[in-house]
Structure 1
């Protein structure tokens, strides 16, 4: 006689996923896809700060890569102000489109 636990028995054939369990599973999967912020050495940080300062001084367009746990964001614009105490910059991307970005969140910069 076959067991009910194998060969499509009672437990094998009754696989139901509750909506709460599905949501919890998807949330756990999203957390596992998170990645850590890369550690930049002193030379890379200096390169980023020089690019920001050059954009600020000469009103040149700069391309910044801003860290995000799931996907990095690439922004292009002109740095119009640098707030040293809070270590933030104001990046203007158009007529009325601007962003405040923390310098610690920038992982790459190029003119």
Structure 2
């Protein structure tokens, strides 16, 4: 009987985890995958600006890489509007699919 109570027997292996602890653990593991936003140099900002202006003026589709703390997203579409006051663009990906993307979140742009 003593072998079941000791040395990883029934009592040792019947540990429980509270739901609150499990949620906290999963949240911690999710946050540990967070990454820092890279700092772009002036030349990269100029290339991004040129691609955005060309897409806006000539209605040419471009590919944007947008920063996300967990997984960067790559989008293909056309710049519909450049808002200098709000510092964002309206990026159209389809007939009715669009999003507003802040300048600071754009990592790269190519035609």
Taking structure 1 as the reference length, the TM-score comes to 0.88
Moved over 4 A (4+): none
TM superposition shift of 1:7: 2.1
CA–CA distance in 2 between the matches of 1:76 and 1:9? 57
Q: Which runs of 5+ in 1 are unaligned?
A: none
Q: CA separation in 2, counterparts of 1:93 and 1:15?
A: 51
Matched residue, 1:98: 98
**Unpaired segments ≥5 residues, structure 2:** none
Pairing of 1:19-98 with structure 2 (within 5 A): 19-98=19-98
**TM-score scaled to structure 2, two decimals?**
0.88
CA distances 1:28-53 after superposition (whole Å, capped 9, x unpaired): 00000111111111111111111001
Alpha-carbon deviation of 1:11? 6.9
User: 1:10 Cα deviation (Å)?
Assistant: 8.3
| Distance in 2 of aligned mates of 1:11 and 1:68 | 45
CA RMSD of aligned residues (A): 1.8
